[in-house]
Structure 1
């Protein structure tokens, strides 16, 4: 695996390091030793998948507060999506900044999302499916979200957003002076 730093502190795009021949290739999607060598969380407790039927569907922006804060490893295994992460850690040098990248079944890129980041994506194709590993169990009482159009972040979505869940439409704007922001302080 080849870890590429993004513009956000601690976040990475991961490229497969393919070994192949005329039959195809072999590559690691995850290796605990390689994650540890890259200095990122290497222990995951859950593997999730999501399928989205229509292009232009937004999922996110989601995060969990400590002690259930989670790191994620996200890969698109069918179709394509634009994956977005936002640094919510007040002590981070990239606090309040976002980064986005196209993840697709074709490019096989993976996004490493550190704890204290919000995460979401918009589908670029119909029938998009993601596979992602998380480092903490889902905890409804620690779940939080941010509006997809929060001016504080200023995310530039590459396609028109056509479909959002009611829950994602109701998320508030992020308040940098909130108790939630304070709880994310130690994750830098």
Structure 2
């Protein structure tokens, strides 16, 4: 569920249909026939306690898909693609295991997770993780203007000392241009 802001172009939010019976619940996470389906090369599980913020990170080669399996987390998104029709669009999407949905995050979209409760979030990656493809900026950079619910989340020291969002936009633009040139 979109809580605030404007969804960046190409980000997909897909409600997942739950099938309940006396044994419990089954819901499909992904299907190749779905529009915009992402081929998955790697699955990761992120388990964090309430009050933790992970991010803001961006990939230039990898598409991500996030969904909550337990608990609730807020997914902050910001479009850093300078040639995008939604450049600088930002939003917060609620990931709640009680109302499951999958959010597909294309390259060039910065994203971070704030865990409102203890939670387990599943992350699918279109390519195997490559540390060289992970860039980031400070989670509370005013340029991003992500409306996080907490002004003092628990974050890694690295996440507090990443470059500014404006510097990150320059890095993302250069990498996306290089990737586009390599495809020609």
TM-score over 0.5 for the pair: yes
Alignment match of 2:130 (pick from 123, 139, 148): 139
The equivalences for 1:175-186 within 5 A come to 175=166, 178-185=170-177
Shift, 1:48, TM fit: 0.1
Give CA deviations for 1:59-90 in whole Å, capped at 9, x if unaligned: 0011223xxx1111101111111111111111
User: Would you say the 8 A contact 2:80–2:172 is kept in 1?
Assistant: no
The answer for the alignment partner of 1:93 in structure 2 is 85
| 1:70 has 2:62 as partner | yes
Cα gap change, 1:79 to 1:182, in 2 (>3 Å): same
Q: Distance in 2 between matches of 1:18 and 1:78?
A: 14
SS of structure 1 residue aligned to 2:139: coil
CA contact (8 A) 1:85 1:100 kept: yes
User: What TM-score, normalized by structure 1, do the two folds share?
Assistant: 0.82
Q: CA deviation at 1:139?
A: 1.5
Where structure 1 has 5 or more consecutive residues not aligned to the other structure, the ranges are 1-5
Q: Structure 1 residues 17, 178: CA separation in 2 closer, same or farther (over 3 Å shift)?
A: same
Could you tell me which residue of structure 2 aligns to residue 83 of structure 1? 75
Secondary structure, aligned partner of 1:33? coil
Q: How many residues align?
A: 173
- For the residues of structure 2 that align with 1:90 and 1:162, how far apart are their CA atoms? 29
| Residues 169-180 of structure 1 mapped to structure 2, 5 A cutoff | 169-175=160-166, 178-180=170-172
Task: Summarize the Cα distance change of 1:130–1:25 in structure 2 as closer, same or farther, 3 Å threshold.
Answer: closer
* Superposition deviation, residue 94 in structure 1: 0.6
Name the SS for the 1:178 alignment partner: helix
Distance 1:22 1:137 in 2: 37
What is the CA–CA distance in structure 1 between the aligned matches of 2:97 and 2:18, rounded to whole Å?
15
RMSD across aligned C-alpha pairs, in angstroms? 2.1
